Amino acid sequence: MPLRDVGWLILDLDNTLLDFDRAAKRSLICTYRRFGISTDEVHINAYRQINHRCWRAFEAGEIDVATLKDLRFQMLVEDLAISINPDQINSFYLSTLSKQIDPMPGALEFLKWADNNFSLVLATNGFKQVQRPRIASSGISAHFKHIIISEEIGFNKPDKEFFDHTFHRMGGPAKNEVMIIGDNLGSDIKGGADYGILTCWLNNGDITKPHDAATPDLSIHKLHDLLKYHSA
């Protein structure tokens, strides 16, 4: 599928351009140590499972962003039966996470190429107090015409309103001129497909797509793979 007609790329941030999994694990271990919580895999996985459930609920519109922020460590404290103020843990964790800027392999080189061939938009569901510092410190912001953070606009991927806002900021291009690239089959690929734009799934983990998940127009394993479609 050639990309000759594509003028805009909407790029996800976490696990697409910046390695969120690595950043989150480092931040969580630092937080656990700060509050005297064991850093063994049982305790690490306890948070991961809670966090995953909360983000799924958020993306489904079942909870709002404020609840998402607070609920994760409230649930963790209850699950681990520990006597620590969850608000203090949450605050320390988010502050630590905001300082983590590990690029995904090849991401910075890809952005330089993409900036010369497309108009770029950054679109993330993350928290503004975390994402704004990470974006600024990583040096990637100069490549983007627009940076859309769900908490700042009141809508999140995959909601139609998120894409409506993004397209308004872009000046209303034709949908067949726009492609979203992201690692999340729900918020990125389903959101883009439902909105009627082209989709590219960055399959970092070489996983098999579930049968009930949205089918992307393109599937790549690293960002650099997109270059071959542009030159086709």
Same domain for 79 and 117, yes or no, is no
Do 136 and 160 fall into the same domain?
A: yes
Going by pLDDT thresholds of 50, 70 and 90, the confidence category of residue 232 is low
Domain termination site, one of 62, 97, 132: 97
Residue 192 lies in a domain: yes
**Residues of the domain holding 201:** 8-18+101-230
* Residue 72 covered by a domain: yes
**Each residue of 146-184: b (16+ CB within 10 Å) or e?**
bbbbbbeeebbbbbeebbebbbeebeeeeeeebbbbbbb
For residues 38 and 71, membership in a common domain is answered with yes
Looking at the fold, whether 90 and 119 belong to one and the same domain comes out as: no
Q: Is residue 217 part of a domain?
A: yes
Q: Please tell me whether residues 108 and 68 are part of one structural domain.
A: no
54 lies in a domain? yes
Q: What is the CATH number of the domain that holds 138?
A: 3.40.50.1000
Is 2 inside any structural domain? Answer: no
Instruction: Find the CATH number of the domain harbouring 93.
Output: 1.10.150.240
In this structure, are 205 and 125 located in the same domain?
yes
- Same-domain status, 50 and 80: yes
Q: What is the tens place of the pLDDT at every residue in 138-150?
A: 999 999 999 999 9
Q: What is the pLDDT of residues 26-41, one digit of tens each?
A: 999 999 999 999 999 9
Q: Are 128 and 151 in contact (CB under 8 A)?
A: yes
In a domain, 1, yes or no: no
Number of domains in the chain: 2
Q: Are residues 201 and 213 in the same domain?
A: yes
Mean of all residue pLDDT scores within the chain: 94
Point out the domain boundary residue: 58, 77, 97: 97
Residue 3 is assigned to a structural domain of this protein: no
Inform me whether the pLDDT recorded for 209 exceeds 90.
Answer: no
> Quick check: is 119 in a domain?
yes
Give the pLDDT of residue 1. 65
Residues 64 and 135 in one domain: no
Query: What is the percent of the chain with per-residue pLDDT over 70, rounded to a whole number?
Result: 98
Residue where one domain finishes, among candidates 61, 78, 97: 97
Instruction: Provide the pLDDT for residue 126.
Output: 86
| Tally of CA atoms within 13 A in the half-sphere of 27 that contains its CB | 23
